[in-house]
Structure 1
Amino acid sequence: MEMEGIIEAIRHVLDEKDSLREEALKLTREIVRLSGDTVKAIHRNDLTLARKRWGEASERVEKLREMLKDHPDLYHSGYVQTAHQEFVEASLLLSYVIGKDYPWPWELGVPEADYVLGVGDFIGELRRYFLHRLLEGDIETAERVYREMESVYNALITLEYPKGLVNIRQKQDQARYVLEKTLEDLTRAKLNKSLEEKLERVLEDD
């Protein structure tokens, strides 16, 4: 066969991949945006909107998986992995806030490696939720959130794999830092509350 024929056949395959890649990029951007909208709605305590945006993101995750089922090289690319992480993060936060069991990777339709990377980001979003509770003066709820962060971190830290399989070490290090900062904030808030209560008792005695 002439080289021209071989190149033309390759061109056909690559043109198809390029077209799919463009469609996948569009979908991943939508997944990231909708997952972000889900998280924002949760922090605003608008759970109706959060569920709606999460459902829209879920539909696109499934569409992406179906579209790239015969193209694993595209499906396991960095931009798809990033979108999955954002979706997992939003899914876990929504489950926690509404009191549902955390979904499994196959329930969300994402690879296991992408899921565990999303778990690392989820700990960061729990900190944000924790800080909102502190600002509201709800130390009891804030402490429960911290305990959940601690539990999730303790599960995540048991994973030890090479970077080539899943770059989990970086997420673990970030999560540990977030956990330490959160404990400092919680301890400070509890001490301040204790001092306020003591001061109130002294003033009442006077």
Structure 2
Amino acid sequence: MEIEEIVEAIRAELDEKDSLREEALKLTREIIRLSGDTIKALHRGEVEKAEERFRNAGERVKELREKLKEHPDLYYTGYVQSAHQEYVESALFLSYVTGRPYPTPDELGVPKADYALGIGDFIGELRRHFLLRLLESDLDGAERAYREMERTYNALMTLEYPKGLVNIRQKQDQARYVLERTLEDLTRAKLGNELEEMLEGLMERLS
């Protein structure tokens, strides 16, 4: 075969991959946006809107998987992994808020390594939920969020693998820091609540 023919064959394949890559980038941006919208809606208490955004994100996840099923070199890349992480985070938080069982990687249609990284992000979202509960003086809700953070963190810490397989160590370190801060905040809130109750009791006895 002449060199020109070889180069032309290479060009045809790379043109196809380049086109697919552009389509994949568009889909990953949509997945990230819709997953973020899901979480924002949940924090505002708009569960129905969150469900709709999450369904739309799931459709994009499925479309992305189908488009790249013959191109694993494109599918297992950083931008796809980031989109999956955001999607997993929104799925786990939606399940927590609605009281449903957590979906599995197979049910979400994402690689297990991407799911594991999404668990780390979920802990951060529980932290935000915890703070919102504190702001609303919902100490019981805040403590429930902390207990779920702790349980999720303990499960996440059982994953000990080299960075080349799954870059989980950074997520674990971040989760540990978030958990420690949350425990401090919860302790202060409970002590403050106890002090307030003591003062109210004292005032009632004096009146």
Aligned to 2:179: 179
AA aligned to 1:124 is G
Deviation at 1:2, TM superposition (A): 1.1
Aligned to 1:162: 162
AA aligned to 1:54 is F
Q: Give CA-to-partner distance per residue, 1:12-36, whole Å, 9 cap, x none.
A: 0000000000000000000000000
Give, in whole Å, the separation in 2 of the partners of 1:106 and 1:205.
60
1:141 corresponds to 2:135: no
Please give the root-mean-square deviation of Cα atoms over the aligned residues, in Å.
Answer: 0.4
Aligned to 1:20: 20
Deviation beyond 3 Å, 4+ runs, structure 1: none
Determine what percentage of the aligned residue pairs are the same residue.
72
- Please report the TM-score for the alignment, with normalisation by the length of structure 1: 0.99
Deviation at 1:131, TM superposition (A): 0.6
Instruction: Give aligned pairs, total.
Output: 206
Aligned to 1:8: 8
Deviation at 1:197, TM superposition (A): 0.5
- Please report the TM-score for the alignment, with normalisation by the length of structure 2: 0.99
Deviation at 1:204, TM superposition (A): 0.9
Give, in whole Å, the separation in 2 of the partners of 1:141 and 1:176.
21
Give, in whole Å, the separation in 2 of the partners of 1:139 and 1:18.
52
Q: How does 1:45-194 map to 2 (within 5 A)?
A: 45-194=45-194
Q: Give CA-to-partner distance per residue, 1:83-139, whole Å, 9 cap, x none.
A: 000000000000010000000001000000000000000000001011111111010
Q: Give CA-to-partner distance per residue, 1:11-67, whole Å, 9 cap, x none.
A: 000000000000000000000000000000000000000000000000000000000
Give, in whole Å, the separation in 2 of the partners of 1:73 and 1:42.
34
Aligned to 1:29: 29
Give, in whole Å, the separation in 1 of the partners of 2:3 and 2:172.
50
Deviation at 1:141, TM superposition (A): 1.2
Aligned to 1:195: 195
AA aligned to 1:72 is P
SS at match of 1:10: helix
Deviation at 1:202, TM superposition (A): 1.0
Gaps of 5+ in 1: none
SS at match of 1:101: coil
